[in-house]
Amino acid sequence: MDNRTMARLLEETADLLEIDGGDSFRVRGYRRAAEAAEQTTVDLTIAAADIARLLEIPGIGKSMAANLQAIVQTGTLPLREELLARYGAGVLELLKLPGMGPKTIALFWDAAKIANVDQLAEAIEAGRLASLPRMGPKQLDKLRKGIEDYRRSAGRFRIDFAEEEARRIAAYLLAFPGSKDARPESAAAEAADHAGFDTVTPAGSLRRGRETVGDLDLLVTGPACVPEHTAAAVEYVAGYPGIHDIIAKGENKVSFHVQGGLQVDVRLLPSASYGAALQYFTGSKAHNVVLRQRALKMGYTLNEWALARLEDGAMVASATEEEIYAALGLDWIPPELRENLGEIECAARHALPRLMEKADLRGDVHMHTTASDGRNSIREMAEAALACGYGYIAITDHSKALAMTGGLDEKRALEQIQRVRAVDREMEGRIRVFTGIEVDILGDGALDMDDEVLAQMDVVIASVHSRFDQSREETTARVLRAIENPYVRILGHPTGRLLLRREPFAIDIGAVLRRGAELGVAMEHNAAPERLDLNDRDLRLAKELGCRVVICSDSHDARNLGKMGYGLRQLRRAWLGPEDVLNTLGAEPFLAALRARPEGSGSASVAGNNLLELR
């Protein structure tokens, strides 16, 4: 149990209560508590022992404090279980469909007792929903597509979800008595007492940096992984408190589902075979097939235990990946590249590229503050970015079209410019704070902000946030018109996708990248784990077409500035190095590398005059 899981249980209870027609004030109470649980830095599993500590958290009242205590004690909420018994767990799946909220689910339940995705699909095809309010042909087509998208992504999990689960399991495993992290400082303990775990390493899709994963492979090594100790080790693994159900339990492997449905396979390995197992279980399947073929041509056999000679079975390499690749005449290949896209040929020629690393990043130029829908002030974002080691940031709050975010109109945008510049001065050169905005691309391709205001911004990001139903031709023309605006320097999250929730809108991304290259407009790789947009394929295309790339966090919370790693993996998967990403440059070279602005724009005095005029 952790804060995120507790927040999910509270949010699900709010949804179920709304489906049930519960009091709106009560529903809001659960939603506020869920948000508080998600955002607080207090460990709720510890704080639950003291209700007074829970009550100190904004958004948590007496009844919600009691609910949090119940979650810690039982793993769920009585009200949630009562409502699930009434409607079935399938209603939670319905909530995952695009555009499907509690009110619509309540409507379907009252009209046709629809309680899961399959029942909804059947009712649509049978025509039983056509007479319901707001259920015309267009809306029903949207529901059909949403069901198709959901079924296509079912069983997949975002990379951040998988990584957080891997961390939780690793922390539990490394607390096994005798493990490095659990051993007494005294060296007097008997050797048998040290039969613990030394390493826990994710493999599979997570290690390769795939944007979603189907399951989670964890490789465990240490003294407890030898035959005489594995029985106790397997039982310890099977005791992980986050397990929903055990799938299989063998001599050196435990497979189980965690809450939420992710399958986890934990394999206990002798250290001598660690490298071979890591290479094998990292994959990809296509990469491994070619690698095994290469081994056979060289007189070897390669499997999860070792690289061995065919003629006599003598082991050649097994302890590390590096020695396995070297024995096959290859440079070690970074996991993100192992997709059989030419990496083996490059490794044979010693021509693998130098890939992006976290240390290469010098700044982050897409983030939001309390001026729109962010949680932190300009100064707080600057201090958090400084702690991340950045030399510059850009503050890019939303424009007014996104009314639900409190987006800026022209007057507020100019006032925000002055606040940003004031913070930039206050930071006294420790970090640069650039002015900016994320301006909406309207349905016809016009921008949601006057050019006179955009001219004052250091960084103008243009993004689509609406009208996702336009045709491919309409959306492409819309975006192309937007980037023709001379003040647009970056196109934000260019395909608009939300992983496992919303498919990319229809767009000719090749045409956009080509025009962006011609105009000098950079394409954002949005590193937020729910977006990761552009994807790795489109990033490769951007590089091929000579289109500049900027990686940004799109942070709405200072704590999310540190999540750039999810995006970095996509850049590495796309074979991008520091020379391909603009914000590996320092502050002034970065601005200079962006699309040149029209002469006369960006003057502080002009900004001041415009501010006075709008006042």
Cβ atoms of 521 and 560 closer than 8 Å: no
Kindly report the number of other CB atoms within 10 A of residue 450's CB atom: 12
Quote the Cα angle for 244-250-252, to 5°.
105
Whether the per-residue pLDDT at 189 is higher than 90: the answer is: no
- 361-595+605-610: what fold? TIM Barrel (3.20.20)
Alpha helices for 469-535 (secondary structure H):
472-484, 509-519
% pLDDT > 90, the chain? 67
Pairing type for strands 363-364 and 315-317 reads: unpaired
The pLDDT score that the predictor gives to residue 582 is 98
> Cα 76 vs. chain centroid, distance in angstroms?
26
99 or 12, which is more confident: 12
76 or 413, which is more confident: 413
Q: How confident is the model at residue 494 (pLDDT cuts 50, 70, 90)?
A: very high
The DSSP code for 89 is T
The pLDDT score that the predictor gives to residue 467 is 92
- Distance in angstroms (rounded) separating the CA atoms of residues 556 and 549: 21
The pLDDT score that the predictor gives to residue 131 is 84
- Which H or E run contains 553? none
Q: How confident is the model at residue 417 (pLDDT cuts 50, 70, 90)?
A: very high
Quick one: average pLDDT of 266-287?
94
Cβ atoms of 218 and 264 closer than 8 Å: yes
The pLDDT score that the predictor gives to residue 267 is 96
- Which H or E run contains 219? strand 215-221
Q: How confident is the model at residue 286 (pLDDT cuts 50, 70, 90)?
A: confident
- Distance in angstroms (rounded) separating the CA atoms of residues 19 and 103: 6
Q: Which are the contacts of 170, defined by CB distance < 8 A and separation ≥ 6?
A: 200, 218
The pLDDT score that the predictor gives to residue 4 is 77
Quick one: average pLDDT of 440-447?
97
Estimate the crossing angle of helix 117-126 against helix 137-153, to 10 degrees. 150
Domain 275-348 has CATH 3.30.210.10: yes
Whether the per-residue pLDDT at 63 is higher than 80: the answer is: yes
Query: Which part of the chain is CATH 3.30.460.10?
Result: 157-183+194-269
Give me the long-range contacts of 189-197 (CB less than 8 A, separation at least 24).
Answer: 194/223, 195/222, 195/223, 195/224, 195/226, 195/229, 195/232, 195/233, 196/222, 196/223, 196/224, 197/173, 197/221, 197/222, 197/224, 197/225, 197/233
Q: Which of 4-18, 168-182, 494-508, 521-535 has the highest mean pLDDT?
A: 521-535
CATH number of 3-153: 1.10.150.110
Whether the per-residue pLDDT at 604 is higher than 70: the answer is: no
When the pLDDT of each residue in the chain is averaged and rounded to a whole number, the result is: 90
Whether the per-residue pLDDT at 276 is higher than 70: the answer is: yes
Lowest mean pLDDT among 46-50, 397-401, 553-557: 46-50
Alpha helices for 311-377 (secondary structure H):
321-327, 343-348
- Distance in angstroms (rounded) separating the CA atoms of residues 319 and 339: 23
For 421-567, list the strands marked E by DSSP.
Answer: 432-440, 459-463, 490-491, 522-526, 549-552
Quote the Cα angle for 565-566-567, to 5°.
90
> Cα 308 vs. chain centroid, distance in angstroms?
39
Whether the per-residue pLDDT at 186 is higher than 70: the answer is: no
Whether the per-residue pLDDT at 298 is higher than 80: the answer is: yes
Whether the per-residue pLDDT at 182 is higher than 80: the answer is: no
- Distance in angstroms (rounded) separating the CA atoms of residues 577 and 281: 26
Whether the per-residue pLDDT at 197 is higher than 80: the answer is: yes
Query: Which part of the chain is CATH 3.20.20.140?
Result: 361-595+605-610
Strand-pair partners of 555: 367
The pLDDT score that the predictor gives to residue 610 is 40
16 sits in the region (left: phi over 0; alpha: psi -120 to 50; else beta) called alpha
- Distance in angstroms (rounded) separating the CA atoms of residues 26 and 30: 7
Q: Which of 235-249, 517-531, 597-611 has the highest mean pLDDT?
A: 517-531
Phi, psi of 248 (to 5 degrees): -155, 150
Kindly report the number of other CB atoms within 10 A of residue 231's CB atom: 12
Cβ atoms of 201 and 253 closer than 8 Å: no
Whether the per-residue pLDDT at 41 is higher than 80: the answer is: no
> Cα 148 vs. chain centroid, distance in angstroms?
22
Whether the per-residue pLDDT at 594 is higher than 50: the answer is: yes
- Distance in angstroms (rounded) separating the CA atoms of residues 41 and 443: 40
Cβ atoms of 267 and 277 closer than 8 Å: yes
Q: Encode pLDDT of 356-370 as tens digits.
A: 999 999 999 999 999
Lowest mean pLDDT among 77-81, 132-136, 328-332: 132-136
399 or 186, which is more confident: 399
The pLDDT score that the predictor gives to residue 403 is 79
The pLDDT score that the predictor gives to residue 187 is 39
The pLDDT score that the predictor gives to residue 89 is 83
- The position carrying tokens 């590996």 is 584
Whether the per-residue pLDDT at 79 is higher than 80: the answer is: yes
Quick one: average pLDDT of 182-186?
47
Pairing type for strands 199-202 and 215-221 reads: antiparallel
- Distance in angstroms (rounded) separating the CA atoms of residues 175 and 17: 39
CATH class, range 157-183+194-269: alpha beta
The pLDDT score that the predictor gives to residue 602 is 62
The pLDDT score that the predictor gives to residue 194 is 52
Whether the per-residue pLDDT at 193 is higher than 60: the answer is: no
Q: How confident is the model at residue 179 (pLDDT cuts 50, 70, 90)?
A: low
The pLDDT score that the predictor gives to residue 185 is 43
Q: Which are the contacts of 84, defined by CB distance < 8 A and separation ≥ 6?
A: 16, 91, 92
Query: Which part of the chain is CATH 3.30.210.10?
Result: 275-348
Whether the per-residue pLDDT at 60 is higher than 60: the answer is: yes
* Sheet strands side by side (includes 253-258): 199-202, 215-221, 263-269, 253-258, 243-249
